[in-house]
Amino acid sequence: MRYPFIFILAVYIAFANATELTFELPDNEKQCFYEDLEQGAKFDIDFQVIAGGNYDVDCFVTDPLNNLLYQERKKQYDSFSHTTTMKGVYTVCFSNEFSTFSHKTVYLDFRMGDDDRLMPDMNRGAALTQMESTCLSIHEILKVVSDSQTWYRLREAQDRIRAEDLSERVHFWSIGEAIILFVVCIGQVLMLKSFFNEKKTNVATST
């Protein structure tokens, strides 16, 4: 299926070293992303299939020595967290090789490291003032709001694609029904016409 409004989108957000992107994964193909990480770095991966086929995809993550850290088959969505044990390039791959005709649209959220401190000069051992405590609370709430907006955006995109797919099927079904009705009407007219022709032939013969 083709969705002209689907395009590759990469957004870099400021809360942490994070990348969000939505990409199209054709049938019988695999797409990989690479990230050079230091030893002891923590990264989190969230992905979700928002369009295509049965909304499933294969996903696997490997370390610089090509050791398999994560592998899931035909998943619609999932999350994975890992702390690196060596420096090097880590690979995140998505595969649609099991599908012969269905394109997939996949959302990926890759986060590396912890969030930057809201107030770098703040001493963690000291008691927070009321203003600092309020700022931290607002910061945490805004993060929750941002995550909720991302979730609702994905749900909206998924529902919109399903609605457009259903609308396309209804459109073609309506065209098919119209053609069938037209053929049936023509057949009935020809059948009635043949009855009258037979009567005229019988009358002429008897005369």
C-alpha–C-alpha distance, residues 145 and 177, integer Å: 47
What pLDDT score does 90 carry? 94
Domain match, 178 and 77 both: no
Domain match, 5 and 87 both: yes
Domain match, 21 and 108 both: yes
What pLDDT score does 8 carry? 31
Look at phi and psi of residue 120 and say left if phi exceeds 0, alpha if psi is from -120 to 50, else beta: alpha
On whether residue 121 sits in a domain, the answer given is no
Q: In the structure encoding, which two tokens stand for residue 105, read together?
A: 């649209």
On whether residue 22 sits in a domain, the answer given is yes
For 18, 71, 163, 187, 192, the CA distances from 144, given in Å and listed in that order, are 16, 28, 28, 64, 71
DSSP bridge pairs for 81: 44
The domain containing residue 201 runs over which residues?
129-207
**Backbone phi, psi, residue 14, to 5°:** -95, -5
Q: Is the dihedral of CA 146, 148, 149, 155 positive or negative?
A: positive
On whether residue 122 sits in a domain, the answer given is no
Last residue within a domain, chosen from 116, 142, 161: 116
Place of tokens 């499933």: 56
Last residue within a domain, chosen from 82, 116, 150: 116
Domain match, 95 and 189 both: no
- Into how many domains does the chain fold? 2
On whether residue 124 sits in a domain, the answer given is no
Domain match, 143 and 79 both: no
Query: Residue 18, SS3?
Result: strand
pLDDT (tens place) for every residue of the chain, 207 residues total? 433 333 333 333 333 466 888 888 998 899 999 999 999 999 999 898 888 888 889 999 999 999 999 999 998 888 899 999 999 999 999 999 888 888 888 888 888 876 555 555 555 555 667 777 777 778 778 877 877 777 777 777 777 777 877 888 888 899 988 899 999 889 888 888 777 776 666 655 655
Last residue within a domain, chosen from 89, 116, 143: 116
What pLDDT score does 9 carry? 33
C-alpha–C-alpha distance, residues 179 and 91, integer Å: 52
**Backbone phi, psi, residue 22, to 5°:** -120, 125
Domain match, 9 and 60 both: yes
pTM: 0.60
Q: For residue 26, how many other CB atoms are within 10 A of its CB?
A: 14
What pLDDT score does 137 carry? 79
Q: Kindly report the CATH number assigned to the domain that includes residue 46.
A: 2.60.120.380
C-alpha–C-alpha distance, residues 8 and 90, integer Å: 22
